[in-house]
Amino acid sequence: MSALPALVLVACLAALGSAAEPDPKVGPRAVIIVPFDASSLATGDQWMGEAAAQAISLGLAQQPGVVQIERDRFSRVVNPAIWREAELSQAGQSVRAHAGIYGDIGRKDADLLFQPRLLDIKSGLTTSLPPATFPDAELATRLAVLAAAYARAIQPALPDTASARIEKAARPTLSVEALELFARGQTAIHDGQNERAVDLLLHAASADPRFAVANYSLGVVHAALGNRWKAAAQFRAAVQLDPSMPEPFKALGDLFLSTPRNLFDRAIEAYSKAIELRPFYADAHAGLGNAYTAKGDLDRALTAYRAAIALDPFDPSTHVRSGHSYAKKGLCADAEKSYRQARELDTSSMVVPVPCAPRSP
């Protein structure tokens, strides 16, 4: 679909959110981010499509009010080799997303030409953002401009300080070599090739010894493979490289929570640190709820789950866990409401309620 006329464009963007900070009357806006279509590039350059998606994702993670839905969730519904508007719309509708982020990469003479696009899932209207042209050698630095452009499109009143923060996060390495290895590693993860991802991410971290995100991602893959000690080592390496990055602390909390040694207090400490660094980090609030649940402190667990849902109401698993906590407290109406919300968000999953005995008045 072609670019929108000016008045329609303004209306489309306003529907996605109109302030740099979340508007409580509008609520969080859910987005899905997919690799750009790089099929027109030489085979050896097509990794740039994934690199664009990763840079945009890293940047938008810094902005409150923008909730990213994991690709694993919507790729269960549709997972094409090349993401176009029809597939993006189908995927977005399946997870109740408001917008889809995608685009194309081509060549203009010897330079790269990026054409970013934004799809309003409800209306089906596509906005073409300003294109970006730059040489291959500037890829690792210039992708950050795309992340900031999307943030301004979704929240037009974005202040310069927020834009700078987003651009910094979307520029996790200055090395094109390290960025390529990282992007290929992410593709391997999505393809279920975790052993290959380990090799690629290890080389990415070696290509740029300051690449904190690569170390964190390597830890995530090790955790998925059951290599707990290696995972913890990579998360700690990421923290040492970038102490302001909350994702490794959240991941350490997950490791502490899953250990058979009942390290619940250490998990709470790790999740709390992640929240301190990024107060709107919904997954860390949900993790904190899980840790308090494991300790049997249902009141604090529910407080954490409510915070997570307020920040990200689109994750069915948080609604399920909240429902379990309500059920254990005998608040059956609240439990059923939570389970119903989970079913509405993910009709493909089986929500198994915890038996609930109504609390005595």
Every domain of the chain and the residues it spans: 6-171, 178-345
pLDDT of residue 27: 79
Asked whether the beta carbons of 173 and 179 are under 8 A apart, the reply is yes
pLDDT of residue 360: 67
pLDDT of residue 202: 98
pLDDT of residue 118: 98
pLDDT of residue 25: 54
Strands (E), the chain: 29-33, 66-68, 99-108, 111-120, 126-128, 132-134
Segments in the chain below pLDDT 70: 1-26, 360-361
β-pairing, 29-33 with 99-108? Answer: parallel
pLDDT in tens, 85-137: 999 999 999 999 999 999 999 999 999 999 999 999 999 999 999 999 999 99
Superfamily of domain 178-345: Tetratricopeptide repeat domain (1.25.40.10)
Q: Does 178-345 match 6-171 at the fold level?
A: no
Rounded Cα–Cα distance for residues 151 and 99 (Å): 12
pLDDT of residue 338: 96
Amino acid letter for position 178: A
pLDDT of residue 349: 73
Domain 6-171: which CATH class? alpha beta
Rounded Cα–Cα distance for residues 9 and 13 (Å): 6
